[in-house]
Amino acid sequence: MNIALLGYGKMGKEIEKIALQRGHIIVLKKGSQDSFEGLSKADVAIDFSIPTTAIENITTCLQQNIPVISGTTGWLDQYEQMVSLCYEKQGAFLYGSNFSVGVNLFFELNNYLAKMMAQLSEYRVSMEEIHHTQKLDAPSGTAISLAKGIIEHTPYTGWTMETPLSDQIPIEAKRIENVPGTHSVYYRSEVDEIEIKHTAFSRQGFALGAVIAAEWIEHKKGVFSMKDVLSIGK
């Protein structure tokens, strides 16, 4: 399969390694100074760039009828626009805040726990995410996905990084050198605390998941998520 890498930073380079190991060909490695030359040869494009660029990358792919997966975080206020464009162009588009198999299992665990905690008003939820110091967005896309899972299944109505109202989930974002990504969800009462936690040891899991998603989407049409790729929770 011919793959275009839109974004050739920490993730782009990790994805390249795994894609080559799995027998794929990289036809474009696009950084901020590069054009889209080569994109037309791609069977699939993988966007891991920066929040302000993801929209341009996804739009260009959909307009050229190239299936596109995006792992870039921090641009989700425009997600619905990309979904509409995908349907209009009858293309293929998949966004994932986190492509690792472990985190996608963790999303399901988070939903299951939230359902159990929904009626237990003596417990208050909070979240923490820790990432490397180069990360541009906060909270992480994964933390936002976890918060959405909790909101869907409990009386909480939103999340905040400030002092929370009673129906808001507080999220603390810490930035520590070289941390690939750690997410914790806590339910605390007067007498005890339940904690679930996912720790990435490297970027390898994110990159492998992205290549698996690219292989999966190649001949499909529609808007998808990692749940479709991994058939988790279905």
Ligand X SMILES: NC(=O)C1=CN([C@@H]2O[C@H](COP(=O)(O)OP(=O)(O)OC[C@H]3O[C@@H](n4cnc5c(N)ncnc54)[C@H](OP(=O)(O)O)[C@@H]3O)[C@@H](O)[C@H]2O)C=CC1
222 pairs with which residues across the strands? 92
Q: Does residue 102 belong to the site contacting ligand X (CB under 6 A)?
A: no
Set 13, 29, 135, 227: catalytic member? 135
Is residue 85 involved in binding ligand X (CB under 6 A)? Answer: no
Three-state SS across 8-70? CCHHHHHHHHHHHHCCCEEEEEECCCCCCCCHHHCCEEEECCCHHHHHHHHHHHHHCCCCEEE
- Min CB(135)–ligand X separation in Å: 6
> Annotation-wise, does 99 bind a ligand?
yes
Site for ligand X in 61-80 (CB under 6 A): 71-74
User: Does residue 33 belong to the site contacting ligand X (CB under 6 A)?
Assistant: yes
User: Is 23 labelled as part of a ligand binding site?
Assistant: no
The binder of ligand X chosen from 2, 4, 8, 110 (CB under 6 A): 8
* Per CB under 6 A, 206 contacts ligand X: yes
- By CB under 6 A, residue 156 contacts ligand X: no
Q: Is 97 in the site for ligand X (CB under 6 A)?
A: yes
Supply the minimum distance, in Å, between the C-beta of residue 127 and ligand LZUJQKHR. 12
| 153 catalytically annotated | no
Of the candidates 125, 112, 118, 186, the one whose C-alpha atom is nearest the C-alpha of residue 154 is 118
Reply yes or no on whether 219 is catalytic. Answer: no
Q: Count Cβ neighbours within 10 Å for each residue of 127-163 and write b for 16 or more, e otherwise.
A: bbbbbeeebebbbbbbbbbbbbbbbebbebeebeeee
Cα–Cα distance for residue pair 76/94, rounded to 1 Å: 13
The residue nearest ligand LZUJQKHR at its CB is 181
Contacts of 36 (CB under 8 A, 6+ apart): 28, 30, 60
Establish whether 141 is an annotated binding residue.
yes
Cβ of residue 157: shortest distance to ligand X, in angstroms?
25
Instruction: Give the Å distances, CA to CA, from 139 to 31, 75, 162.
Output: 24, 12, 11
Cα 74 to Cα 139: distance, rounded to the nearest angstrom? 9
For ligand X, the nearest residue by Cβ is 9
d(CA 215, CA 43): 9
Task: Check the annotation: does 98 bind a ligand.
Answer: yes
Q: How far is the CB of 130 from ligand LZUJQKHR (least distance, A)?
A: 9
Binding residue ranges for (S)-2,3,4,5-tetrahydrodipicolinate? 132, 141-142
List contacts with ligand X (CB under 6 A). 6-12, 30-33, 48-50, 53, 57, 71-74, 96-99, 134, 206
Binding residue ranges? 30, 71-73, 96-99, 132, 141-142
| Residues tagged active-site | 131, 135
